[in-house]
Amino acid sequence: MKPSLHQVQCRIAFLQEQLDSLEHYLPETYQFLMNEMDAQQRVLMELKISSYYQQQSNEQQNQNPHTGHSE
């Protein structure tokens, strides 16, 4: 199941908090958090693009209703 837009945004906010709060850290920790941030940003963009295309498809269907029935 795909995460919701809200879930991904919450994950990104959490990761950003973790990055901002790091005082003493190992480079591997920072790299791990940055990799996870990149992955979540990618998922967020996928959801936004998918939502955009779905919206465009719905608008197009609403503008061009099927006229298969002859009256």
Q: Does the residue 4 lie in any domain?
A: yes
The predicted pLDDT at position 71 comes to 46
Q: Does the residue 33 lie in any domain?
A: yes
Q: Does the residue 68 lie in any domain?
A: no
Distance CA 31, CA 38 (A): 10
As a whole number, the mean pLDDT across the chain is 86
Which domain, by its residues, includes 37?
Answer: 1-48
Residue pLDDT, tens place only, 55-66: 888 888 888 766
Torsion, Cα of 9, 14, 19, 23 (10° steps)? 160
Domain count of the chain?
Answer: 1
Q: Does the residue 54 lie in any domain?
A: no
